[in-house]
Structure 1
Amino acid sequence: MAMQKFRPVNIKESLPVVKIRELNQGHTDSNSDLCRKDIDESVQINTGDIIFSWLGTLLLDLWAGNEAGLNQHLFKVTSNDYPSWFIYEWTKYYLQEFQLIAKSKATTMGHIKRSNLKESFAIIPDDDELTKLNNLLGPIFDNKIKIRKQNLILRQIKKQLLAKLLN
């Protein structure tokens, strides 16, 4: 969704907007655009959400920043049927192929199409095997998100301490 269409009326009732820049740095900052807080839930992201960029720089990331609005060309990848680690790892598996497809486009902004996603297949384990895998890999994935969040907090503290030290 193009977030410039949803400018906030009140700064206190706003969310920072995640664009490619924010996705690359892993967080929003004071230079990030703002949008209204009442945007559709499908374009609101929180810590642990899987974000996929399909245009230009194809990226896949686990969002470690705070609540934000998701700008156009970025998607929150979700599933009602499969755990996040499963979706993330299969998307990551195909990311290099997607990047090659985008790079081969003759346009200035390479991209992939919905058909490229539909042509990507995942091996789906049966329910018992998926449960076993989820019990094993789910906590590891959750811990990965916690570590990313902690790293973000430590970087912010480092930045604040360096600013105080240099003043």
Structure 2
Amino acid sequence: MSKFAKVKLKNCATFINGMAFKPIDWDVKGLPIVRIQNLTGTNKNFNYYSKEYNPKFEINNGDLLISWSASLGIFIWNNDKAILNQHIFKVVFYKIEINKKYFYFCILDVLEEMSEKTHGSVMRHITKGDFDNIEIPLPSLKKQERIVGILDELIQSALQKAFNPLKDNTKKNYQLPQG
């Protein structure tokens, strides 16, 4: 049981759902359209969009993305400017003081809870209401940063132990999953 106050996700940030594209909107040039399969690695091929769009759908390097339909997950966009497809939230922080990486770890921790709240038979998804009401612990910003530091050290240590026999031990090969 956490000794920290809890906060609902809806009070942490704004979650902007991506744009609904149809195949007729796709192009061979323009900005890449980021779909769930591009984030999960099941398909690295992008479709592109070359028309005008609302800037709220734009994503940039370092943005946090949460897939809430079909495949639940949290991702750090590690690429150039792109446009977000539907069924993925872009996380926009401005409501409270929260460390982005701490939030990332919290979402990883509640993915199972999210999964238990999914609906649908063909394309399982979590409703916005259920998503918004999931709670995460909210320690002070200083404690969040300390928690992130500890988790980063544990992850790096585990990766070094797991991959120590490999000749190519470059740090870039062992970073957190990114889209």
- TM-score bucket of the superposed structures, by smaller chain: 0.5 to 0.7
Mapped contact 1:16–1:69 kept (Cα < 8 A) = yes
**Is 1:109–2:123 an aligned residue pair?**
yes
Cα shift readout 1:133-152 (whole Å, capped 9, x = no counterpart)? 38947x98xx9xx9379999
Give the superposed CA RMSD: 3.7
Q: Secondary structure at the match of 1:96?
A: helix
CA distance, structure 2, for counterparts of residue 27 and residue 44 of structure 1: 20
Query: Aligned residue pairs: how many?
Result: 141
Question: Which of 69, 85, 89 is matched with 2:101 structurally?
Answer: 85
| Equivalent residue, structure 2, for 1:164 | none
**Is 1:21–2:34 an aligned residue pair?**
no
Q: Which has the higher helix share?
A: 1
Instruction: Choose between structure 1 and 2 for higher RCO, CA contacts under 8 A separated by at least 6 residues.
Output: 2
- Percent identity of the aligned residues? 24
Mapped contact 1:18–1:28 kept (Cα < 8 A) = no
CA distance, structure 1, for counterparts of residue 27 and residue 128 of structure 2: 34
Mapped contact 2:27–2:50 kept (Cα < 8 A) = yes
**Is 1:97–2:113 an aligned residue pair?**
yes
CA distance, structure 1, for counterparts of residue 32 and residue 67 of structure 2: 18
Cα shift readout 1:103-154 (whole Å, capped 9, x = no counterpart)? xx35211111122223211221235544x538947x98xx9xx9379999xx
**Is 1:61–2:75 an aligned residue pair?**
yes
Structure 1 stretches lacking a partner, 5+ long: 153-167
Question: Which of 45, 57, 66 is matched with 1:52 structurally?
Answer: 66
**Superposition TM-score, scaled by structure 2 size:** 0.61
**Is 1:124–2:138 an aligned residue pair?**
yes
CA distance, structure 1, for counterparts of residue 28 and residue 76 of structure 2: 29
CA distance, structure 1, for counterparts of residue 83 and residue 137 of structure 2: 32
Deviation for aligned residue 1:97: 1.5
CA distance, structure 1, for counterparts of residue 41 and residue 88 of structure 2: 15
